[in-house]
């Protein structure tokens, strides 16, 4: 999936055959899935990094008290 989508106007959608509409919906769902997987991957890494930073901050805070 390339991630390059296209916008279908209401007029174009009305003139589009049902089989092609189904294909457009399928491609849109595939694109959304691909983007969500990428966001989830980043979310895991950022959560991990945030945990490390938070742990270090907690240790430094306890050292100061």
pLDDT digits (tens, 9 = 90+) for 11-28: 888 999 999 999 988 988
Q: Is the pLDDT of residue 40 over 60?
A: yes
Q: Which domain holds residue 29?
A: 16-64
Is the CB of residue 27 less than 8 Å from the CB of residue 3? no
Query: Does 46 fall in a domain?
Result: yes
Query: Does 11 fall in a domain?
Result: no
Query: Does 7 fall in a domain?
Result: no
Is the CB of residue 21 less than 8 Å from the CB of residue 13? yes
Residue 54 main-chain phi, psi, to 5 deg: -65, -40
Nearest Cα to 29, choosing from 5, 53, 10, 47? 5
How many domains is the chain partitioned into structurally?
1
Q: State how far the Cα of 51 lies from the Cα of 65, in Å rounded to an integer.
A: 21
Query: Does 4 fall in a domain?
Result: no
Query: Does 26 fall in a domain?
Result: yes
Q: Tokens representing 50?
A: 């945030």
Q: Tokens representing 19?
A: 């089989």
Residue 41 is predicted with a pLDDT of 82
């Amino acid at each position: 999936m390339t991630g390059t989508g296209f916008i279908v106007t209401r007029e174009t959608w009305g003139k589009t055959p049902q089989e092609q509409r189904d294909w457009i919906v399928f491609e849109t769902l595939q694109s959304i899935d691909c983007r969500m997987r990428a966001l989830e991957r980043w979310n895991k890494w950022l959560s991990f990094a945030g945990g490390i930073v938070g742990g270090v901050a907690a240790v430094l805070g306890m050292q100061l008290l």
